[in-house]
Chains A and B, each alone.
Chain A
Amino acid sequence: MNAEPVLSVRELVVRFATDAGTVHAVNGVTFDVGAGDAIGLVGESGSGKTVTSLAVMRLLPKAGRIVSGEVVFRGKELTTLSEHEMRGLRGKEISMVLQDPLSSLNPVLTIGEQIAEAIRAHEDVGRRAARERAAELLGSVGIPGAGDQLERFPHQFSGGMRQRVMIATALVLHPKVLIADEPTTALDVTVQAQVLELLHELTKELGTAIVLISHDLGIMARMTRRITVMYAGFVMESAPTVELFARPRHPYTVGLLGSIPRAGADGELRPIEGAPPDLERAPVGCPFEPRCARRIAACRETMPPLVPAADASHLVACHNPVPS
């Protein structure tokens, strides 16, 4: 990892006030992204990945609140920034690609209008200049006949094309960080590979750091240099990608890796028993304890801190980690 992270999230805590009570969505998440780096947040649905990314963008739904923690972008603390300053960063310095390309484009505006508005939100350029750049951009994400495509509406595009449009829009102003939340989950497998390849190439070319959010470890292995494993709003383990796959230390990570189907492997698929905990209860102890095969008495009492396991770059939060 680079010495100076471009984005640094420290002990982030996010809670939601609902009619049923407080939801403890994110409980002290920490990770760093170096300039031009690629990191992954992995975990089951409900593990707090998406909430973490929305908190970084300060786009949490009304009921959600950052209770404590820091989000530092290039030395600037984002959690205390005014809405006006924050808006200046969104789309320009930090941008986002959402999970479902079918629903993240406005059905009544043309593709061209939707790309151009991202440019015009931050730069004082005319309609025409914005359109020309939009056309150029569509070409660069491999959409043929880009000029004519600008006049078309989202429903006239396939899912893969729409996600290319979203990626193009997110990268149009050359942001320092791109948060991609399950960018290929809604796509066909064949299209997935193309979109990931595009994402990889463009971010590399522009020097954009990428925070990839996914539950798919296969994608993580291909796309990231470092992975942070989340469970019930906690970071369970964080390690360089290669290290994590070779020597997982947290029982949950081991469980995740064991539940990937592998062609040719003779072993059975081993799902993790049980279900994630109810986030409406204040967390006591390790949230994975009820499902953990290696639980010990301490697991019920305290959440273990995230500490270096073998070396300084491999962090694990476990009272009884798997021996390497």
Chain B
Amino acid sequence: MTGNDVVLALVVVTALGFDFTNGFHDTGNAMATSIVTGALPPRVAVAVSAVLNLVGAFLSTAVAATIASGLVNSGDVTLTVVMAGLVGSILWNLTTWYLGIPSSSSHALIGGVVGATIAAAGADAVKWQGLVAKVIVPAALSPFIAGSVAALGTVLVYRLTRGVADRPRQHGFRIGQVGSACMVSLAHGTNDAQKTMGVITLALIANGTLQSGASAPTWVITACALAIALGTYIGGWRVIRALGKGLVEIEAPQGMAAESASAAVILSSTDFGYSLSTTHVATGSILGTGVGKKGAVVRWHIAHRMVAAWLITLPASAVVGALAYWVANGIGGTIGVAVIFVVLVAASVAFFVASRRPAVTPENVNAAWTGSVVPTTPRDEVAS
């Protein structure tokens, strides 16, 4: 069926598009602290993170269809549902990126798919207990776990290096910071690239191209790895700035404590089969280092804004996913899917154009925080 093949191609392209937004949305999780303390120049930081995401995507080859299984009845998942879910998650990712809010890409993806499934097959098709146990409870706990680890790490680090002069201390911890940020990037590649691989594999199975239970073909793994790496390299400068400059004013020892806490919590949760959102962990860690250092500036109103965005990520992307499904299904067939694809592309272009004026770039990402994501006086403080 040529019609089906067109739909499948659109779903694959859209899924890779989601992977791309996942990459640039989450660059800040790993690299924000290294960029603001000057441990790495901004462009080098995103390049290193991109390479490690690429490597990470290949390192871990077991692709579980984590998004669908356990959360919705997979029998109700059609190509149109997957497409609508992706549209919902990409639009929400772009919105939060534009506002400079580090929201969870996995929540956006899950919300979009759940919303589209409800629109297609009703609320009974959602496994609510799985959703609460696997998504909502971990999301509520992870910032506190990561935050307390990071706070303790920060207290210890400052106490142990109390007599050390400022310059060698900054120098030493910048090196440590780079190492720990690299671990977070690697962990991100292994976790997040897999989600898109799972979605594409699911679409291929739904289409009958692959047998049920098949693992991801090599071209899917390669394409996803490249998409997330490219996204990471483009760099979500708005989110990086909000995390690194807006939330807490960070010094190198705090940066190292934060990234170590993030890496340890993400890796151990992966190993114990309890997947936490990289974004929630990283944000919790950065807040934790602010709490752990005496006299550190923590802007709680920004933290509140981020938490509010986390709370509405699932429902908001679900609503967009459901709307997209109704539009696609209402028009029907290949044309319906093509229409929501075109709308998605148009909206993405609009977000991109809006973000250019004024843009947050590698040159002004470290400018002094003046209360907004977009620096009011570009090229201020950059020379330092």
A, B from the same assembly? no
> Residues of B at under 8 Å CB distance from A?
none
Interface of A with B (CB < 8 Å)? Answer: none
